[in-house]
Amino acid sequence: MADQLTDGPQIGDTCVGCVVCVDLCPGDVLRMEGDKAVVEYADECWWCGVCRVECPVEGCVQFKFPVAMMKG
């Protein structure tokens, strides 16, 4: 489980704080922390990619799949 806490959608330093990903995530897994979006419930991510599709900053959102998905 430990890896799932840090894996999932990765919001980069280029986040402009527009809140779009937080508002549109169908799983309600993202939150604002100050003026940046962060992943609050990474283990509830469905990998649907909506956060990246809607992010206005190219390359800001990336995905890191956990060991359970990558190595099994």
Partner 1 sequence: MENVIEADVAVVGGGLAGLFVAIGAAEQGARVVVMEKARIERSGAIGGGVDHCLAYLNEGEPWDTRDGYLAFVKKAAAGAVDIAVHEKIYCDELAAAIKRMERIGCPMHDPATGTYYRTRSFGAPGAYWINFDGKNLKPLEAQEARRLGCEVLDYVSATKLFIQNKRIAGVSGYNIRTGEFVAIRCPAVVVATGATNRLYETPTGMPFNTWLCPYDTGAAQALAFDAGAELANMEYVRMTIVPKGFSAPGLNAFTGEGATFINALGEPFMTKYHKLGDRAPRNVLVHACLTEGAEGRGPLFLDCTKLPADNLHQLKTTIGTDKDTLPDYFEQKGIDIAEEPFEVEVSEGMQTGPLEVVGSGVKINSQCMSTVEGLFAAGDCADQMKVVHLALTGGYAAGRAAAQYAKRSPGDVLAAAEVAAERSRVLAPLDRRSGVHYRDIEDVLRRIMKQYVGPMRTEIGLKTAARKIERLKGELSNLKAANPHELVRGLETETLVTVGEIMAKAAQARRESRFIPYHYRLDYPEQNDAEWNGQIVVQKSNESITTEFRPFS
List residues binding partner 1 (CB under 8 A): 4, 23-28, 40-41, 43-50, 52-54, 62-66, 68-72
> CA 61 to CA 45: how far, in whole Å?
14
Cβ 34 to partner 1 shortest distance, Å: 18
Compare residues 18 and 54 and give the one whose CB is closer to partner 1: 54
The minimum distance between CB 14 and partner 1, in angstroms, equals 18
Q: Could you give the count of Cα atoms lying within 13 Å of 11 in the half-sphere of its Cβ?
A: 25
Number of separate helices (H) and strands (E) present in the chain? 4, 4
